[in-house]
């Protein structure tokens, strides 16, 4: 099933999501649907709040970016109840986008390296470190679980310049190639 993407202006995207248990109803189907929704929307990451579920789960498939960065080949994973326990290294900037913020791309500064603990779709536990684009995508998706969007990391001036675009998205004036919705 393909879900519409919940976009900016929806209070849902500002909530802190809840942890889930292994017994969460139809978790395997949900994860499959999230991968499918991400793929048809041309995203490399999708967090559960973006499909209207306030739970601590996101999926990543960075294979479409592997042409530019071969280290991303095969980086396809579900992260359940993740916890970033360390962010280290110098911050660096990279142009980010988000399915919930159609048509907006901005350079976002994030720490270079993270250590994260999480469970996969079979509830196997992992404790791993990531750097490069992988660390960036994970941090972006992780933010969604805490109600944070990439535009929150921009300078006050950049935010001001984006205000018009953001207001349009919140009014539903979006030209996205995938289906979107605002949940009030």
Distance of closest approach, residue 45 Cβ to Co ion, in angstroms: 6
Marked catalytic residue, from 23, 67, 109, 141: 141
- 31 versus 123: smaller Cβ distance to Co ion: 31
User: Does residue 23 carry a catalytic annotation?
Assistant: no
In the chain, which ranges are E strands? Answer: 5-6, 45-47, 57-61, 76-96, 106-119, 125-130, 180-181
How far apart (Å, rounded) are the C-alpha atoms in residues 177 and 7? Answer: 13
Distance of closest approach, residue 150 Cβ to Co ion, in angstroms: 6
Distance of closest approach, residue 22 Cβ to Co ion, in angstroms: 26
- 81 versus 153: smaller Cβ distance to Co ion: 153
| Site for Co ion, rule CB under 5 A | 98
Tokens 């006050």: give the residue. 156
- 112 versus 148: smaller Cβ distance to Co ion: 148
* Catalytic residue annotation: 141
């Amino acid at each position: 099933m393909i879900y519409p993407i919940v976009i900016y202006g929806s209070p849902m995207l500002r909530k802190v999501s809840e942890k889930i248990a292994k017994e969460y109803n139809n978790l395997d189907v949900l994860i499959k649907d999230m991968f499918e929704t991400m793929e048809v929307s041309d995203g490399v990451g999708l967090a559960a709040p973006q499909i209207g579920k306030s739970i601590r789960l996101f999926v990543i498939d960075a294979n479409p970016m592997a042409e530019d960065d071969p280290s991303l080949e095969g980086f396809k994973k579900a992260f359940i109840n993740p916890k970033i326990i360390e962010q280290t290294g110098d911050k660096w900037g990279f142009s980010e986008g988000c399915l919930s913020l159609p048509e907006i791309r901005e350079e976002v500064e994030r720490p270079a390296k993270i250590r994260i603990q999480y469970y996969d779709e079979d509830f196997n536990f992992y404790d791993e470190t990531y750097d490069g684009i992988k660390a960036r995508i994970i941090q972006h998706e992780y933010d969604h679980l805490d109600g944070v969007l990439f535009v929150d990391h921009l300078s006050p001036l950049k935010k001001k310049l984006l205000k018009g675009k953001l207001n349009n998205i919140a009014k539903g004036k979006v030209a996205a190639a995938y289906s979107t919705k605002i949940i009030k």
